[in-house]
Structure 1
Amino acid sequence: MSIDPRPIPRFVAEPPQEGLPYGRWAETLAKHFHDACTEVETDEPVGSTGPVTWFPERTMGERTYVPATASTSEGWELFGYVSYTREHEGAAAEDFEASADVTDETAEANPDWQIDLSDAELRPFRGDEGRRGMLTLVWGVSLVGGAVAASAELGPDTTDQCTIIEERFTLISLDAYTGDYLDVRLWGADGRELAAESLYEDE
């Protein structure tokens, strides 16, 4: 055994255990998401909210996160997540929390995009010698054909991966740590990299 020179959290979340939300469960989640959307503040009218698109759920610790997006009648996109806990596997969901934000940067307006990404900060991470980072929820849509998996890359380290379900994926990863920032990569069934994008590409 050798000492890890970079002790950071990797693969901290369980892989998706359920299919994409539907039926009454989707309606329950949508109510919490819509409530969070009503608190979003913008300088311009957002318009009415369209159907919610759900992404694979990921569980970290005792809390499960289900990301979501929804287009609006004014061309904006609402994005965020609903989270909850369960007392044990199979128990009813409880302790719901939801977060939402809005953007005018959409895949429809950017036909050159290969990945449509959204993200939300979850909680700070404190590393060795005063180093600080942020555990971040990242979700997206593959806009290239043939992608079967997505991975989170922080500098030299792969920190998470997710099987793509109906072109959608969800990752939880450390970000903004020791000068490294998160990249998302898409992979084909033959192991070839099909696309890559940084969360900070446009900043």
Structure 2
Amino acid sequence: MAPNPRPIPRFIADTSQEGIAGGRFSARLREAFVGAVSDIADLPAGAAVPEEVDWFPERAWGGRVWVPCSARTESEEGILELYGHVSYDLPEGDGDPSGFRATADFTDVLAEDNPDWKIDLNDDVIGRWRGENGRAGAVTLVWGRPLVRGAVAATAELDGETVDQEEIVRDRFSLVALDALEAYGDDVFMEVKLWSRRAMELAAESLYAAVEEDEPTPDAES
């Protein structure tokens, strides 16, 4: 085949090998996540990581394993969602995980308050890819839940091309793919799609949310 004039990296991360974390390992992950939450400077009073954290399927990229998570908590400002991820060095052979790191943030924008949503998504940039002639992109970890019935798989697409895919496990999925491509001509952003068992598209959402410009303020009458 001839060289691709517009190469886009695909399937850059290992698929999930362990599924959703549990037992003692989930407790170790929670410990790291608690530390990251405690570092949030503007976290509302009363918010804390609950004993049960919702872990998402792990993905491995760049020599590390990335485990996304979310958890609901009550605060003096109402119900919040804590979200983020814990990562650790990819073990060699039967070695134990090490080098744990975590990031965390919170939001008061919840799925139950937005009945028009079809996917509940979170994302975070975990690295950068660089290609030839200035081409580049943000390596992005995406995790979420389907809010429509019948979804069995999730995909990440760039310009209509599938670049990652994963089975939905216990109503959760994780993806790793490039987003916000540079030097490809037009802007190219990741689009996440949900699929049924019969390969029917059930929902789609772009990671790019257009910011509406403020309407000009009419001149005051003299």
Matches within 5 A, 1:67-78: 67-74=68-75, 75-78=79-82
Helix, strand or coil at the partner of 2:86: strand
Q: Is the contact made by 2:43 and 2:106 (CA closer than 8 Å) also made in structure 1?
A: no
Aligned-CA RMSD value: 1.6
Deviation of 1:46 after TM superposition, in Å, equals: 6.1
Instruction: Give how far 1:147 is off.
Output: 0.6
Cα contact 2:83–2:105 (8 A) shared by 1: yes
Q: Secondary structure at the match of 1:72?
A: strand
Post-superposition, which runs of at least 4 consecutive aligned residues in structure 1 deviate over 3 A? 43-46
Give the Cα–Cα distance (whole angstroms) in 1 for the partners of residues 167 and 206 of structure 2.
19
| Match runs of 1:76-91 below 5 Å | 76-91=80-95
Q: Give the deviation of 1:56 after TM superposition.
A: 0.3
Distance 1:71 1:46 in 2: 12
In the alignment, is residue 188 of structure 1 matched against residue 196 of structure 2?
A: yes
Amino acid at match of 1:71: R
1:197 aligns with 2:205: yes
Per-residue CA deviation, residues 103-153 of structure 1 (Å, 9 max, x unaligned), is 221112212211000001011222221133200000000111111100001
Equivalent position of 2:220 in the other structure? none
Task: Give 1:81 deviation, angstroms.
Answer: 0.5
Larger Rg: 2
Out of 166, 175, 184, the position equivalent to 1:162 is 166
TM-score normalised by the chain length of structure 1: 0.94
2:24 counterpart SS class: helix
Match of 1:102 in 2: 106
SS in 1 for 2:30: helix
Q: Within 2, Cα distance between the matches of 1:15 and 1:46?
A: 37
Cα drift, residue 161 of structure 1: 0.4
Q: Tell me which amino acid in the other structure corresponds to 2:188.
A: D
Q: Distance in 1 between matches of 2:208 and 2:101?
A: 26
Q: CA deviation at 1:201?
A: 3.3
Q: Which residue of 2 aligns with 1:140?
A: 144
Structure 2 Cα separation of the partners of residues 43 and 163 of structure 1:
33
d(CA) in 1 for partners of 2:169, 2:109 = 23
Q: What is the CA–CA distance in structure 1 between the aligned matches of 2:86 and 2:210, rounded to whole Å?
A: 26
Aligned length: 203
Return the TM-score normalized by structure 2. 0.86
Deviation at 1:8, TM superposition (A): 2.3
The answer as to whether partners of 1:46 and 1:76 remain within 8 angstroms in 2 is: no
Q: Name stretches of at least 5 consecutive residues in structure 2 with no aligned partner.
A: 212-222
Q: Which moved more, 1:146-155 or 1:128-137?
A: 128-137
Per the alignment, in what secondary structure is the counterpart of residue 19 of structure 1?
coil
| Percentage of matched positions with identical amino acids | 45
State how far apart, in whole Å, the 2-side matches of 1:19 and 1:60 are. Answer: 16
Q: 3-state DSSP class of the match of 2:113? A: coil
Instruction: Determine the C-alpha separation between the residues in 1 that align with 2:61 and 2:112.
Output: 32
- The aligned counterpart of 1:10 is 10
Contact 2:69 2:83 in 1 (8 A): yes
